[in-house]
Structure 1
Amino acid sequence: MDIILVTTIIASLFVVIGLAEPLAARLRLPFSVILAVVGILIGASAIFLLRTDLTDALNPMAAAILGLPIRSNVFLYVFLPTLLFQATLGMNLRRMVDDWVPILVLAVVAVVVATVSIGYALFWFSAIPLAACLLIGAIVSTTDPSAVVSIFRSISAPRRLARIIEGESLLNDAAAIALFGLFMGYVMLGIPDPELGSALAQFPMLIAGGALVGWLGARVAVWVMALFARHELAQQSISVALPYLAYIVAEQSVGASGVIAVVAAGLTLNLTAPGRLPPQALTNLRELWDVLAHWAGALIFILAALLIPRLLEEVRLEDFFLIAVVVIAAILSRAVILFGLLPLLTAAKLSPMVERPYRVAILWGGLRGAVTLALALAVTESVRVPDDIQRIVGILATGFTLFTLLAQGTTLRWIIGRLGLDQLSPIDHALSRQVIAVALQTVREDVAQTTENYDLNRDIVRSEAKRFGERLETAVKTAEEATDILDRDRIALGLIALAGHERDTILARVRERTISARMADLVLSDADRLIEGARTQGRSGYQRAARRSVAYGRTFRAAAVLHGRYGVSGPLARMTADRFEMLLSQRLILRDLGTFIDGRIRRIHGRRVAELLHDLLARRIEGIETALEGLRLQYPGYAEELERRFIRRTALRLEEREYTLMREDGLFGAEVYTALMQELTTRRMAAEGRPGLDLAVRRGALIEQFPLFTDLEDAALKRLSRSLKTRYVDIGDVVLHKDSPASSVFFIASGAVELESAGQTWRLGRGEMFGQMAILTNRVRRVDVRAIAPTTLLVLDEDRFRRLLERSAALRDAVWASAEKRGIDPVDLVAGDGKI
């Protein structure tokens, strides 16, 4: 084929892609629907031109269009890895983890249910072998929810809901293609009725093998990219190679799922790259992949649509009945998941509440597209698949895809409108009127100042001021009518605005490089939880999310167990260092929010709401300061090193700003500026390094600060440091239960605990101990001990405690004082030699 003709066609397709996006926005239709319609029209026109006698002038162009090397391998090996990899790079994975249950249900369980339902429905209503029916079910079970996600974003649907649908779109392709490969093998081997249980048993191995290949590939890629920190184009080139190599190795060498390998590679890069690559390099890399994915997504749709007229050439009347069977089975199977299983998960508190209108929109928005057509094309190209199965697979997959695009896609926005999802709630509507009134008042003040500064014509100023005053008067009047907003709703709206401004501030600090990209993911996830908590549960949801942001998570506790029981300190040291930096970053952000409350929020929601938000903000700052103080006591000097690092970053940012300003003022040329920026980049990379955290050494320094151990010699302190074990407990965790056996004594390194016995409570803080009375009185414990703050405990077993008691007079005095305070006769206290 003439290369000039092919180049002309490809360039023309890019023109079509460029025109299709604004056209889709103008017609209020999904972008994929416009591309599919245009592709169908191009393919049908090419076939018509070749078969008509009207003209032969366009025959070369038509033949070139129909002769394009469009094969299933082009879609699966070129376009699909690009789309999947970019989707993983753009996701907030830490927030995805919060919703992993509904994501997996929609992405994996729904695909399996749809495959089985469609397969058996076709088997019952046709003479097609079961293996081929299940193959068709796998082909059409993959959905493309991008249309409903884009509409949800445009109507301000809950972010969590859009995130769940995005997670589904990422993983359901992987699940469907893995099932496709499984049943494709049965069809090619001529096994008409495979045993479904044994077939699905191979599914986990395909996923596990692909995940391992993707993880290893991404780890190697990140390591190499980190070596090329100064060469951004080299990093981008390696990132482009990663998904394709992972896909090919998994498919051709390991025999696993290439799609899973690409997803695993993208997830690994997303999680590990922020800590290894410069923030700007990571931002540019994601922008590159956004452009590549946009082109790949558009080309895969339009090229697949070119094939539709060809795939439907042999359609028969009875095929329309089977297409209807596929449509009904697909919709019913998805409805079972959305209206049956998902509410059960919500009742079990494993999934967020998804309101019925949103579930209806998700059901109708389950469009099929290029992936379905690509898989069908792979079947029609295989010489090992019988001709009759090739024909029926191509027709059913293509017919079903056309139904979803032309019937569901064109009516999706209308359905959403009928469900009322595109309307503001009464609260938001009332709030918008108040916002308009406040904004217009600010605009009037600024315009008045501008007219004075520029000495404009007074007649024109008075005329425009009159018109503007009428609009402002109307806005104020309608805002005064919006008095039906309850205080709790105003508080919730104020908290949403505050958390949103917090998120914007984080992004600004990341751009300034005051906060590292690694920490940005953590604090942005916390800000998103604050927004969703306030939106769904008001003040209580916001406070719950705020407490979670400073609490010790499950992974932290697991790392503490590894350190305390098995001596594996690496994970705990890394997580503790992350916690230090996260708390410092949060403190930096929160101290800037007071001005926003006094400005925007006070003017919109009033003084009472502003004061309440100030109070909530003060509590958050207090909680962060308490958590930081506990870490400082536990690891003296480490927080200071992180603060020095922050100061160095700030100084470098200010230095870069000054160089840029002087360059713009023409004080020196491009050569000098380039040399200065290269030297600045070198120093910035050095400043990005985080100081190491030695848990064992820091624990020894912490022990020296205990007043109880002041009279011990250095050798005794070292032995004690080796004997003590560290235990971390979160707020509300029970440390000791009443009537439990007495075997250990606990020293509070940081935090606080509450002891409860016989209806009485008392609290102990840093530097104090508990658990010793039950040991020394030879009685079972009579108290429940619960942490009232994130607490670090040093635990000493009974034998070592008794030996320590014999050596330390300060410890004996503390035990004596504690006994008298609790009303215990010191005569009842027994040490190792029978006396205190």
Structure 2
Amino acid sequence: MDIILVTTVITSLFVVIGLAEPFAARLRLPFSVILAIVGILIGVTATFLLRTDLTDALNPIAAAVLGLPIRSNVFLYVFLPTLLFQATLGMNLRRMLDDWVPILTLAVVAVVVATVSIGYALFWVSALPLAACLLIGAIVSTTDPSAVVSIFRSISAPRRLARIIEGESLLNDAAAIALFGLFMGFVMLGIPDPKLSTALAQFPMLMAGGALVGWLGARIAVWVMALFSRHELAQQSISVALPYLAYIIAEQSIGASGVIAVVAAGLTLNLTAPGRLPPQSLTNLRELWDVLAHWAGALIFILAALLIPRLLEEVQLSDYLLIAVVVVAAIFARAVILFGLMPLLSALRLSPTVERPYRMAILWGGLRGAVTLSLALAVTESTRVPADIQRLVGILATGFTLFTLLVQGTTLRWIIGKLGLDQLSPIDHALSRQVIAVSLQTVREDVARTTENYDLDHNIIRSEAKRFGERLEVAVKAAEDASDILDRDRIALGLIALAGQERETILTRVRERTISARMADLVLSDADRLIEAARTQGRNGYQRAARRSVAYGRTFRAAAVLHGRYGISGPLARMTADRFEHLLSQRLILRDLGSFIDGRIRRIHGRRVAELLHELLSRRIEAVETALEGLRLQYPGYAEELERRFIRRTALRLEEREYATMREDGLIGAEVHTALMQELTTRRMAAEDRPRLDLAVQRGAFIQQFPLFTELKEGTLRRLSRSLVTRYVDAGTYVLRKEVPVRQVFFIASGAVELEAAGHTWRLGRGEMFGQMAILTHKARRADVRAITPTTLLVLDEDRFRRLLGRSPTLRRAVVESAEKRGVDPEDLLPDNLPR
């Protein structure tokens, strides 16, 4: 084929892509639907031109269009890795993990249910073997929820819901393609009725093998990219190679799922790159992949749509019945998941509640697209698949795709309007009126000050002021009519605004490089949780999310167990360092929010709401300070190192701004500015490296300052630091319970605990211990011990405690004083255990 004609056709398709997006926006239709329609029209027109005698002038172009090398491998090996990899790079994985249950349900369970439902429905009404029916079910089970996601975003649907649909889109293709590979193998081998259990048993191995390839490839790629931290083009080139190599190695070398390999590679890069690559490089990398994915997604739709006329050439009347069966079975299977399994998961508190109107929109928004057509094309191209199966697969997949695009896609926004999802809630509507009134008042004041600086005609100023004043009166009256918002709703709206401002402040600090890219995802996830919790659960939800942001998570506790029981300190050291930096970043952000409450929220929601928000903000700051102080006490010196790093980064940011100002003012030339920036970049890279936290050294320094160990010799202190195990306890957690045998003594490094026995309570704080009485008296505990603040404990086993007791007079005196305070006669303590 003439290369000039091919180039002309491809570039013309890019023109079509550029025109289709604004056209879709004007028609209020999904972008993918417009591309599919355009592709079908191009294919039909080219076929018509070749078969008609009206003109031969356009025959070369028509032949070039129909002769494009459109094969299934082009879609699966060129376009699909691009789309999947970009999707993983743009996701907030920390927030995705919060909703992993509904995401996996929609992405994996729903695909399996749809495959089985469609497969058996076709098996009952057609003469196809079961393997071929299940193959068709796998092909049409992959959904493209981009349309419903874009519409949800445009109508301000809950972010959590949009995130669940995005997570489904990421894993849905992987699950469907993995099942497709299984059943395609059965069809090519001539196995008509495979055992479903045997097929599904191979499914986990495909997933695990692909995940391992993707993870390993991404780790190597990030390591190489970190070596080239000053060369962005090199980093971008390596990132482009990563998904394709992962896909090919997984598919061709180990027989695993290439799609899973690409997803795993993208997820790994998303998680590890922020701590290894410069922030601007990572931003540019994601922008590059956004463009590549936009082009790939558009081209795959147009090129796949070009095939539709060819795939439907041999359609018969009976085939329409089978298409209807596929449509009904697919909608039924998706409805079972959305209206059966999802409510059950919500009742078990494994999934967020998805309101019925949103479930209806998700049901009708399950569009199929290019991936479905690509898989169908792979079947029609295979010489090992019988001809009758090839024909039906092509017709059924294409017919079902057309139904979802032309029927569901074109009516989706209308359905959303009928469900009332495009309307503001009464609270948001009332709030919008107040916001307009406050904003117009501010604008009028600003305009009045601005016009004083210009020599304008006073008649014009008065006429415009009068017109603006009339609009303001209307807005104020509308706001007064909306004054019936309940106080709790005002508080919730105020908290949403406050959390939104927190998120914007974080983004500003990240752009200024005051907050590291490593911490950006974590603090942004905290802000997103605050927004969603305040929106769904009001004040109580906001407070719970705030407490979670400073609490020790499950992974942290698991790392502490690894360190304490097995001596594996790496994960705990890394997470403790992350916690230090996280708390410092939170403190920096929270202290900037008070002015926003006074300057903006007070004007919209009033003094009472502003005062309450100040109180909640003060509690959050106090909780962060408490948690940070606990770490400072436990690891003296490390927080100071991080604060020095913060000061150095701030100084570098200000220095960069000064150089830019001098360059703009003409005080220095381009050559001097470039040299200064190169030297500044070198120092900034050094400042980005976080100081290493050595748990053993830090714990030894802490133990030397612990009051009960002041008289111990240096050698004893070193041995003690190796013996003590760190344990982190959240507020409200019981450390010890009554009547439970005790074999350890607990020293409070930070925080406080409460002891309760026989109706009496007393509290212990930093520097004190508990558990020693039960050991020395050989009696079961008579008191419950509960942490009342986030508490750090140093734990010593019974044998080492007894030996330590013999070496430390200070510790013996503390034991006696503790016994007397709790009403225990020191004489009751075993004489061998408590020397005088």
Report the TM range for the smaller structure's normalisation: over 0.9
| Residue 524 (structure 1) aligns with | 524
State the Cα distance separating 1:808 from its structure 2 match. Answer: 1.7
- Say whether 1:814 aligns with 2:818: no
Matched with 1:282 is: 282
Aligned residue identity for 1:465: A
> Any runs of at least 4 consecutive aligned residues in structure 1 with deviations exceeding 4 A, and if so which?
833-836
Cα offset, 1:722, TM superposition: 2.2
SS of residue in 2 equivalent to 1:202 = helix
Amino acid in the other structure paired with 1:43: G
Q: Deviations over 1:557-602 (max 9, x none)?
A: 0000000000000000000000000000000000000010001100
Partner deviation per Cα, 1:62-85 (whole Å, 9 max, x = no partner):
011000000000000000000000
Deviation, 1:673, is 1.2
Give the whole-Å Cα distance in 2 for the aligned partners of 1:486 and 1:59.
70
Partner-residue secondary structure (3-state), 1:366: coil
Alignment correspondent of 1:224: 224
Residue of structure 1 in register with 2:90 after alignment:
90
Q: Secondary structure at the match of 2:727?
A: strand
| Structure 1 residue 751: Cα displacement | 1.3
Note the alpha carbon deviations across 1:579-634, whole angstroms, 9 max, x for none. Answer: 00000000000000001000110000000000000000000000000000000011
1:826 Cα shift? 1.8
- Which residue number in structure 2 is paired with residue 384 of structure 1? 384
Q: What's 2:190 paired with?
A: 190
**Map of 1:126-205 to 2, 5 A cutoff?**
126-205=126-205
What is the match of residue 619 of structure 1? 619
2:209 and 2:778 map into 1 onto residues whose CA distance is 56
Which residue in the other structure is 2:758 paired with? 758
Please state how far the C-alpha of 1:725 moved relative to its aligned partner. 1.8
SS of the equivalent of 2:755 reads strand
Equivalence map 1:40-79=2 (5 Å): 40-79=40-79
Name the structure 2 match of 1:433.
433
Quick check: 1:586 aligned with 2:566?
Answer: no
Partner of 2:450: 450
| CA-CA distance at 1:778 after TM superposition | 2.4
Q: Which amino acid aligns with 1:437?
A: A
Is the 8 Å Cα contact of residues 380 and 394 (structure 2) preserved in structure 1? Answer: yes
Deviation at 1:771, TM superposition (A): 0.9
Whether 2:255 is the aligned partner of 1:235: answer: no
Aligned to 1:13: 13
* 2:347 aligned partner: 347
3-state SS of 2:735 partner: strand
* Structure 1 SS opposite 2:745: strand
Q: Which amino acid aligns with 2:743?
A: S
SS at 1:454 equivalent = coil
Counterpart secondary structure, 1:423? coil
| Counterpart Cα distance in 2 of 1:223 and 1:595 | 42
User: Is 2:625 aligned against 1:629?
Assistant: no
CA contact (8 A) 1:803 1:832 kept: no
Q: Distance in 2 between matches of 1:489 and 1:520?
A: 30
Asked if structure 2 preserves the Cα contact closer than 8 Å seen for 1:805 and 1:831, the reply is: no
* Alignment check: 8 A CA contact 1:43 1:307 kept: yes
Structure 2 distance, partners of 1:669, 1:835, is 79
Q: Are 2:805 and 2:834, in contact at CA under 8 Å, matched by a contact in 1? A: no
Structure 1: give runs of 5+ residues left out of the alignment: none
Do residues 772 (structure 1) and 784 (structure 2) align? Answer: no
Correspondence for 2:559: 559
More divergent stretch after superposition (772-781 vs 44-53): 772-781
Rounded Cα–Cα distance in structure 1 between residues aligned with 2:255 and 2:154: 41
Report the Cα offset of residue 802 of structure 1.
2.3
Deviations 1:193-237 (A, max 9, x none): 111110111111110110011011000000000000000000000
Q: Secondary structure at the match of 2:452?
A: helix
1:635 is displaced (CA, Å) by 0.6
Q: In the alignment, is the contact (CA less than 8 A) between 2:806 and 2:834 conserved in 1?
A: no
- 2:49–2:58 CA contact under 8 A, matched in 1: yes
Letter in 1 for 2:646: F
Q: TM-score, normalised by structure 2?
A: 0.99
Tell me, in whole angstroms, the C-alpha distance in 1 between the residues paired with 2:534 and 2:834.
59
Matched, 1:672 2:672: yes
Secondary structure of 1:745's match? strand
- % of aligned pairs identical? 87
> 1-side partners of 2:777 and 2:631: how far apart?
34
Measured after TM superposition, the shift of residue 719 of structure 1 is: 2.2
Q: Distance in 1 between matches of 2:805 and 2:207?
A: 57
Q: State which drifts further: 550-559 or 816-825.
A: 816-825
The CA distance in 2 between the partners of 1:377 and 1:771, in whole Å, is 70
Q: 3-state SS of the aligned residue for 2:453?
A: helix
Is residue 121–residue 329 contact of structure 1 (8 Å, CA) maintained in 2? yes
Please give the secondary structure, in 2, of the residue aligned with 1:735. Answer: strand
Question: Between Structure 1 and Structure 2, how many residues are aligned?
Answer: 836
1:805 deviation in Å? 2.0
RMSD: 0.9
Q: For residue 83 of structure 1, give the secondary structure of its aligned residue in structure 2.
A: helix
The residue number in structure 1 matching 2:27 is 27
User: Contact 2:533 / 2:545 at 8 angstroms: preserved in 1?
Assistant: yes
Which residue type is aligned with residue 50 of structure 1? L
Q: Secondary structure at the match of 1:29?
A: coil
Paired AA for residue 430 in structure 2: A
CA–CA distance in 1 between the matches of 2:833 and 2:825?
18
Q: What residue in structure 2 maps to residue 609 of structure 1?
A: 609
1:92, 1:767 → 2: CA distance?
A: 41
Relative to structure 2, which stretch is displaced further, 188-197 or 31-40?
188-197
Is 714-723 or 569-578 further displaced after alignment? Answer: 714-723
State the AA in 2 paired with 1:567. G
Which amino acid in the other structure matches residue 79 of structure 1? F
2:778 is the counterpart of 1:781: no
Whether the 8 Å CA contact 2:730–2:790 is kept in 1: the answer is yes
**Structure 1 match to 2:699:** 699
Question: Structure 2: which 5+ residue stretches go unaligned?
Answer: none
Q: Report deviation, 1:723.
A: 2.2
What is aligned with 1:422?
422
Q: CA deviation at 1:790?
A: 1.8
Deviation at 1:365, TM superposition (A): 0.1
Alignment match, 1:656? 656
Deviation at 1:323, TM superposition (A): 0.2
For residue 486 of structure 1, what is the amino acid of its counterpart? L
Q: Which amino acid aligns with 1:415?
A: I
| 8 Å contact from structure 1 (residues 221, 242) kept in 2 | yes
CA distance in 2, matches of 1:764, 1:281: 50
Matched-pair contact (CA < 8 Å) for 1:559–1:571: yes
CA shift for structure 1 position 834: 6.5
Deviation at 1:169, TM superposition (A): 0.2
Paired letter, 2:490: R
Once the two structures are superposed, residues 781-827 of structure 1 have per-residue CA deviations (whole angstroms, 9 ceiling, x without a partner) of 01111112221111122222222222222112212221222122222
Q: TM-score, normalised by structure 1?
A: 0.99
Aligned residue for 1:527, secondary structure, equals: helix
- Shift of residue 671 of structure 1? 1.3
* 1:735 corresponding residue in structure 2: 735
Check whether the contact 1:776–1:831 (CA below 8 A) recurs between aligned residues. no
SS of structure 1 residue aligned to 2:518: helix
Amino acid at match of 1:202: Q
**Residue 681 of structure 2: aligned partner:** 681
* Residues 521 and 831 (structure 1), Cα distance of their counterparts in 2 relative to 1, 3 Å cut: farther
What amino acid is aligned across from residue 93 of structure 2 in structure 1? L
Distance 2:834 2:463 in 1: 99
In 2, Cα distance between equivalents of 1:513 and 1:78: 36
- Partners of 2:620 and 2:189 lie apart in 1 by 63
Q: CA deviation at 1:831?
A: 4.3
Give the residue type in structure 2 aligned to 1:34: I
Contact 2:635 2:698 in 1 (8 A): yes
Deviation digits for residues 491-511 of structure 1 (CA, Å, limit 9, x no counterpart): 000000000000000001000
Q: Could you say what secondary structure the match of 2:792 adopts?
A: strand
Please say if residues 346 and 352 of structure 2, whose CA atoms lie closer than 8 Å, have aligned partners that are also in contact. Answer: yes
In the TM superposition, residue 742 of structure 1 has moved relative to its aligned partner by: 2.4
Other-structure match for 1:489: 489
SS where residue 747 of structure 2 aligns? strand
Give the whole-Å Cα distance in 2 for the aligned partners of 1:599 and 1:201: 60
Output one character per residue of 1:694-725: Cα deviation in whole Å (capped at 9) or x when no partner. Answer: 11111111111111112222122222222222
The aligned amino acid for 1:305 is A
For 2:723 and 2:450, the matched residues in 1 are separated by 73
Q: Verify the 8 A CA contact 1:437 1:472 in the aligned structure 2.
A: yes
Contact between 1:829 and 1:835, CA under 8 Å: does it hold in 2? no
State the 1:830 CA deviation.
2.1
Q: How does 1:478-517 map to 2 (within 5 A)?
A: 478-517=478-517
